[in-house]
Structure 1
Amino acid sequence: MSNSHCTLDAPGAEEETMNGMSFSKLCCLFCCPPCPSTITAKVAFRPPVPTYNFVPVNEKEEKYTINFTEGAEWQFGDAEKECLDAFYTRTSRGSKIACMYVKCCPNAKYTVLFSHANAVDLGMISSFYVMLGMRINCNIFSFDYSGYGSSSGKPLEKNLYPDVNAAWLALQKRYSISPENVILYGQSIGTVPTIDLAARNHFAGVILHSPLMSGMRVLFETRRTWCFDVFTSIEKVHKIQSPVLVIHGTEDEVINFSHGVAIYEKCSQPVEPLWVEGANHNDIEVFPQYLERLRHFINSDLSN
């Protein structure tokens, strides 16, 4: 994000910036500030048409199998599908959220609690979870936000935090997994609930993939947090006391690379970040250094 330092009265010159924002934009914000819901609508929450549903197997034990639609593009067979443990849990705000535990490795030391990106649901990313877990030797636990997939409720910022908290409590209770064996992973909008949860609890590690500082900072060139801002991760990330790996593409056209840098610089316990040269917002996973860095984080950084 660039900042200009020209005088206001110079003919044809760019306007002086204040807090990283031009004077005219600053005036516009004070005269007609956007409401948080407007910022949220522009920045996030694009739930897709659901690509799966849960079919009850044993309602007493609340066990389900996952039925994928064509939109899920499931890339495996029935054997891998048997490794998916599906169930619902309730949040403190009353949403019934869909959860999925991917048992990739029977002797895995870590389970990754994955908060996924926008515009996808569990059906669309289940194949990715299977492949990721096998390659990094971890089990994967994930959930759909309120209003996504087969989760009830509405996709709102105030639901994100109870959603991830309910998922974490369910992971603990159902599988008896302790915090020191959990790695939080947030991607894009998923970094928002991940940072919130990590700031309140200690885990083995935290991975922030294409994080955003805040909603206003995605839309405007501003360096401060406004009272009407949303997704204010930049104000929470310093509270995380677990090792944090930040991953960001240098050519990200959705969340500027500068967001990843700022989040990294605010971390209290950062490890060496992964800046993927030439990567955009949705293609970091295809670069070979992505898996290499994850393995090093899990096998080396967390041990140290």
Structure 2
Amino acid sequence: MGGVTSSMAAKLAFFPPQPPTYELEEEAESGLVTMTRFPHRENVEIMRLTTRRNHQIVAVYVRHPMAVSTVLYSHGNAADLGQLYDLFLQLSFHLRVNLLGYDYSGYGQSAGKPSENNTYADIEAAYKCLIEKFGAKEEEIILYGQSVGSGPTVDLASRLPNLRAVVLHSPILSGLRVMYPVKRTYWFDIYKNIDKIPHVNCPVLIIHGTADDVVDCSHGKQLWELCREKYEPLWIKGGKHCDLELYPEYIKHLKKFVTTVEKPRSERPIWRIADRVEPSRRSTDCMEPPRRSTDRKLKLRNKEPPKTEHRYSSVDGFDKIKFSLDHFEKSRRSVDCLERPRKNMDQIERGRKSVDRLDRIWAG
């Protein structure tokens, strides 16, 4: 049953760009691996990693000479490394960090098929590479998860007690909650961030656009409420699901966050530390009976929940929501950018233009 459910969820949640936006080339003599369309850089290394599920996935490592932190970046649904390469270079440069990004199984030139369990194995392989190949330490690593990438990011962060920090960019409460405002966690749901986020012990920054029509901003706000060690969130007014990097406050807030978490704990501002909650069950254990979700506990604690302007806000009560045909049509789209990427190269060109615009914004 669990395998069937995972297969169905994968069809709904994952839409890798087809065809992939890059290819790999390897020099016979030196073994140097490069990505087509991008010239080789001395501070960039392209590599293949083997996961515990025996899939070969592709990763990009960008080195910064003054870095004291390393970012492990888990991208969104309808993207691959070819679209994110320039963004990785910009983030490494402006944040002064080393950065490793990777393609999930079935994305880009990574082998295998996309699934929840495969993404967990993928991020573990990337993390292991940082530790064993590049000498990073757990307490120096910042996990960054965008949209669907918040799933493997929160899962790994909940199992690593000494991480430097976590960034969640347009995150989801869970896969099912993107489509329907359910009040409890069901065994067939995927990426149950709502149940795992209270077990993340490091500072968490959440970034979300207030005009996100794919993953409502209320997802980010509720996850922030459930964080144990909260950092000042960034709610980008008018920001949508795939354009937050184009807002000047995005990079400014990220810089401030990275600078803060790199300081000794004694020099950091005092953040609110939430009470511990009962241990969360594993997302992959589909045979356990469903239990009440953590969002129910939050509602019981706060007798007078604050009012919000967001459509699906759990603190307003899901029972008051009226569904329209448009909403159900939206729910059929994927967990991330949802619409299957076009097979022509228009999307790639738009991505490159966005990065060029991002350069101009950050340089100003």
Q: The TM-score by the shorter chain falls in which range?
A: 0.7 to 0.9
Give 1:138's aligned amino acid: V
1:242 is matched with which residue? Answer: 202
1:19 is matched with which residue? Answer: none
Offset of 1:83 from its aligned partner? 2.2
Please say if 1:212 is aligned against 2:172.
yes
Q: State the secondary structure of the residue aligned to 2:229.
A: coil
Give 1:295's aligned amino acid: K
Q: Which has the higher strand share?
A: 1
Give 2:35's aligned amino acid: N
Offset of 1:120 from its aligned partner? 1.1
- Cα separation, 2, equivalents of 1:149 and 1:127: 16
Aligned length: 260
Please say if 1:107 is aligned against 2:53.
no
Offset of 1:253 from its aligned partner? 0.7
Task: Name structure 2 gaps, 5 residues minimum.
Answer: 269-364
Give 2:89's aligned amino acid: V
* Cα distance change, pair 183–58 in 1 and its aligned pair in 2 (3 A): farther
1:273 is matched with which residue? Answer: 233
Q: Which has the higher contact order (CA 8 A, sep 6+)?
A: 2
Please say if 1:194 is aligned against 2:138.
no
Which is further off, 221-230 or 149-158? 221-230
1:6 is matched with which residue? Answer: none
1:52 is matched with which residue? Answer: 22
Superposed, which structure 2 residues align to 1:75-86 within 5 Å?
78=39, 81-86=41-46
Offset of 1:36 from its aligned partner? 4.8
**C-alpha RMSD of the superposition:** 1.8
Write out per-residue CA displacement over residues 181-232 of structure 1, whole angstroms, 9 at most, x where no aligned residue. 1111010111110001100012111000000011110111212111221111
- Cα separation, 2, equivalents of 1:43 and 1:218: 10
Give 1:183's aligned amino acid: I
Offset of 1:41 from its aligned partner? 2.6
- Cα separation, 2, equivalents of 1:57 and 1:44: 32
CA contact (8 A) 2:6 2:116 kept: no
Give 2:240's aligned amino acid: N
Q: State the secondary structure of the residue aligned to 1:52.
A: coil
Offset of 1:42 from its aligned partner? 2.6
- Cα separation, 2, equivalents of 1:95 and 1:265: 36
1:160 is matched with which residue: 119, 130, 153? 119
CA contact (8 A) 2:16 2:106 kept: no
Please say if 1:66 is aligned against 2:34.
yes
- Cα separation, 2, equivalents of 1:96 and 1:48: 19
Offset of 1:58 from its aligned partner? 6.5
- Cα separation, 1, equivalents of 2:111 and 2:179: 29
TM-score by length of 2: 0.68
Offset of 1:302 from its aligned partner? 4.3
